[in-house]
């Protein structure tokens, strides 16, 4: 049974901003980014405990072929994606979202 995955509203903003960034280069690149984002979401749905927990209880799944990670936390009723994080920008900025 799939685990429900919900996105923090700021994680949605980050994903849209990244898609827009890639769309400025080409529509195909933007589509590949969205497909690369869908893949870890599906993997988290099927097995959220696959990636090791961080010290703060979050887990992160790297996107294939893009410098982004999906940072999430397991909750009682599913998974909350806290951030769609670029690997080289502002490390840890999303931690304040843990308090929601």
DSSP string, 42-98: HHHHH-GGGSPP-TTS-EEEEPTTSSEEEEEEEETTEEEEEEEEETTSSTTGGGGGG
Q: Which residues, in sequence order, are CB contacts of 5 under 8 Å at separation 6+? A: 41, 44, 45, 72, 78, 79, 81
* pLDDT(1) > 80: no
Model confidence pLDDT, tens digit, residues 13-34? 999 999 999 999 999 999 999 9
pLDDT band at 45 (very low <50, low <70, confident <90, very high): very high
Query: pTM for this structure?
Result: 0.88
CATH code linked to domain 5-90? 3.30.2310.20
Q: Which helix (H) or strand (E) holds 13?
A: helix 9-25
pLDDT band at 100 (very low <50, low <70, confident <90, very high): low
Residue 99 phi/psi, 5-degree rounding, is: -85, -10
Model confidence pLDDT, tens digit, residues 53-85? 987 899 999 999 999 999 999 998 899 999 999
Alpha carbon 81 to its chain's center: 6
């Amino acid at each position: 049974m799939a685990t429900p995955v919900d996105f923090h509203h700021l994680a949605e903003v980050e994903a849209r901003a990244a898609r827009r960034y890639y769309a400025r280069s080409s529509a195909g690149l933007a589509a590949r980014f969205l497909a690369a984002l869908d893949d870890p979401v599906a993997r988290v749905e099927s097995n959220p405990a696959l990636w090791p927990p961080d010290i703060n209880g979050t887990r992160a799944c790297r996107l294939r072929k893009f410098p982004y990670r999906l940072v999430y936390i397991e909750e009682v009723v599913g998974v909350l994606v806290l951030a769609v994080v670029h690997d080289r920008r502002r490390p840890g900025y999303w931690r304040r979202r843990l308090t929601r």
